[in-house]
Chain A
Amino acid sequence: MTIASSLPLDSGQSLPSVTIAYQSYGALNADKSNAVLICHALTGDQYVASDHPATGKPGWWARMVGPGKPIDTDRFHVICANVLGSCMGSSGPATPDAVTGAPLGMAFPVITIADMVRAQAMLLDQLGIERLHAVVGGSMGGMQVLAWSAAYPERIASAVVIASAARHSAQNIAFHEVGRQAIMADPDWQDGQYYASERAPTKGLAVARMAAHITYLSEEGLTEKFGRRLQARDIKSFGFDADFQVESYLRHQGLAFTDRFDANAYLYITRAMDYFDLADPHDGRLSGAFSAAKDVRFTLVSFDTDWLYPTAESRRIVQALQSVGASASFVELSAPFGHDSFLLDVPALDRIVAGALGGGF
């Protein structure tokens, strides 16, 4: 959907018009009170419960969203929008310049998590949905949920924040910077204007994905999955091939990622995450962000093996919510998969999400 009105951005710039690509599942009821917004993570997209058009793979949260699932599309009208700055149809660095028609590249303004949320609110305005039954997200999706509760608390009844944080830590920023430098050091990046050329910074993007992918897993998980096992050989090569299974796996993950993701979009979205600090506009007091969110029901979940967004970050949010008297639920679940646990088979998470949305599972 293209919205003709201008979108003001945190940077002070604005977008003259915004295109938001989205998917929806399940019927919207007559009084439009059963809408659930799902916010996707850094490299996610709007295909939350339907096959990805480029890869043909099932939706990234198909285990959570669908008929009879914890987010039950027989009960709820589920909306998932591609975030601003991404590359699956929403306005981003690959969007053509209104005058020249050439992709904007680095001329696209730097955006923030709050900007993404402002764009989603504009989409809901267009759809005539005033209030959401719930807004749900993991990782960067959880940051958007928090930003929703700060910017539009009157528009949401329930907020579900999974494996997330109210700010990016120095370590989070550091890993993102490694990824961005890998992309920008690739000669095929060409200062971001690679769209018209035959070359794209796939090597740099693949390295960025490899580094990031490690942060999504746990040491325990990596050890269990790969150990020191060799890849399709019995002896070490004494060279720099992918001798170890873990190397081969990461190379594959990096390469496969470049088939579905745009390098510039990766730069912009990681930057938006780095700038995220919900307490920043409130003199560093996180409770200030929730001062109008007393009537929102919050549910937060962390995972014991997630070192990217550790439990302490969720607890910090819970403390801020308690200090303003908001209704908060929180649990640290045990799961072996690290940060990626929110996407994987953790039955306790299913029950919690269903309960937070007012259903049983």
Chain B
Amino acid sequence: MALRPDLAIIAAAVPTGSRVLDVGCGDGELMAALRDQGVDARGLEIDPVNVTAAIARGQSVVQGDANRDLADYPGDAFDYAILSQTLQTTERPDRVVDELLRIAPRAFVSFPNFAHWRVRLDLLWGGRMPVTRLLPVAWYETPNIHHVTVSDFRDLLRAKGIGVEAAWYLSGDRPTSAAAATWRAEHAIFLISR
């Protein structure tokens, strides 16, 4: 099965032999791809059904909550931390980013861009919280409690003095430019470093 495009981008950017923590690893799809390319990948996942599925696949996954349990990992325990499609669900995204860059010198952070034109139009013309392909759940039951835009995230990194080593922006499954990203990107992936 082909990896989701954002996961494929991350997998391609992780060098063989590195140690990786996948925060919110789901049932271990990305970890399986990373393991195939010789990466020591471990996971943290909140849903016990997903954790069970990942362990049954032979993955090393701990059931836990990114809001609290990242604190259990020592500093520099990994080469890369990965937070894929999870930032907007955390209680304090800023603190989670700090934790990622404590346990690893580099981190991949990906999130749906709330400033994508379709979201903007939905809100502008519909006057309702948008329900889109990447944000498919109604406002009252969405796990996404901190909607974030590409510009918001860039501002946060700047305020914290966090460096951006690379960024990828996806419109559908296709890349789009950094300049047009705030409008055109449905999805953004940042490789950040201390």
User: Is A152 interfacial (CB-CB < 8 Å)?
Assistant: no
How many A-B Cβ pairs are below 8 Å? Answer: 59
Q: How large is the interface on B (under 10, 10 to 19, 20 to 34, 35 or more residues)?
A: 10 to 19
Are A318 and B58 touching (Cβ within 8 A)?
A: no
Main secondary structure, interface of B, reads: mixed
Which residues of chain B from 30 to 64 have any CB-CB distance to chain A below 8 Å in the complex?
A: 42, 48, 51-53, 55-64
Are A355 and B57 touching (Cβ within 8 A)?
A: yes
What 15 new A-B contacts, CB under 8 Å, besides A322-B62, A331-B51, A331-B52?
A: A299-B55, A322-B73, A323-B74, A327-B42, A329-B55, A329-B62, A330-B62, A330-B64, A331-B55, A332-B48, A352-B55, A355-B56, A356-B55, A358-B58, A360-B56
Which residues of chain A from 279 to 325 have any CB-CB distance to chain B below 8 Å in the complex?
A: 297, 299, 318-319, 322-323, 325
Q: Which residue of A lies closest to B78 (CB)?
A: A325
CB distance from B35 to the nearest CB of A (A): 12
Q: List 7 A-B contacts (CB under 8 A).
A: A299-B55, A319-B72, A322-B74, A323-B72, A327-B42, A331-B52, A333-B48
Task: Please pick, from A329, A333, A354, A360, the residue contacting B61 in the complex, using a CB distance under 8 A.
Answer: A329
CA distance A352 to B56 in the complex (A): 5
In the complex, chain B residues whose CB is within 8 Å of the CB of A351 = 52-53, 55-56
CB distance from B108 to the nearest CB of A (A): 20
CB distance from A148 to the nearest CB of B (A): 19
Which residues of chain A from 336 to 361 have any CB-CB distance to chain B below 8 Å in the complex?
A: 348, 351-352, 354-356, 358, 360-361
Q: Which residue of A lies closest to B73 (CB)?
A: A322
User: Is A181 interfacial (CB-CB < 8 Å)?
Assistant: no
Task: Give a binary string over A214-243; 1 marks a CB under 8 Å from any B CB, 0 the rest.
Answer: 000000000000000000000000000000
Task: Give a binary string over B66-79; 1 marks a CB under 8 Å from any A CB, 0 the rest.
Answer: 00000011100100
Q: Which residue of A lies closest to B48 (CB)?
A: A331
In the complex, chain B residues whose CB is within 8 Å of the CB of A348 = 48, 52
In the complex, chain A residues whose CB is within 8 Å of the CB of B58 = 355-356, 358
In the complex, chain B residues whose CB is within 8 Å of the CB of A299 = 55
Task: Please pick, from B48, B55, B73, the residue contacting A334 in the complex, using a CB distance under 8 A.
Answer: B48
Task: Please pick, from A325, A327, A330, the residue contacting B63 in the complex, using a CB distance under 8 A.
Answer: A330
Task: Give a binary string over A108-121; 1 marks a CB under 8 Å from any B CB, 0 the rest.
Answer: 00000000000000
Kindly name the residue among B52, B59, B61 whose own CB sees the greatest number of chain A CB atoms within 10 A.
B52
CA distance A355 to B61 in the complex (A): 12
Known A318-B72, A322-B72, A327-B42: A352·B62 in contact at CB below 8 Å: no
Known A318-B72, A322-B74: A332·B63 in contact at CB below 8 Å: yes
In the complex, chain B residues whose CB is within 8 Å of the CB of A355 = 55-59
CA distance A309 to B51 in the complex (A): 21
Are A318 and B52 touching (Cβ within 8 A)?
A: no
Task: Give a binary string over A88-104; 1 marks a CB under 8 Å from any B CB, 0 the rest.
Answer: 00000000000000000
Are B56 and A361 touching (Cβ within 8 A)?
A: yes
Are A354 and B56 touching (Cβ within 8 A)?
A: yes
User: Is A212 interfacial (CB-CB < 8 Å)?
Assistant: no
CA distance A230 to B194 in the complex (A): 68
CA distance A348 to B61 in the complex (A): 15
CA distance A355 to B74 in the complex (A): 27
CA distance A333 to B55 in the complex (A): 12
Task: Give a binary string over A14-42; 1 marks a CB under 8 Å from any B CB, 0 the rest.
Answer: 00000000000000000000000000000
CB distance from B127 to the nearest CB of A (A): 41
User: Is A328 interfacial (CB-CB < 8 Å)?
Assistant: yes
Are A331 and B72 touching (Cβ within 8 A)?
A: no
Task: Please pick, from A318, A333, A361, the residue contacting B62 in the complex, using a CB distance under 8 A.
Answer: A318
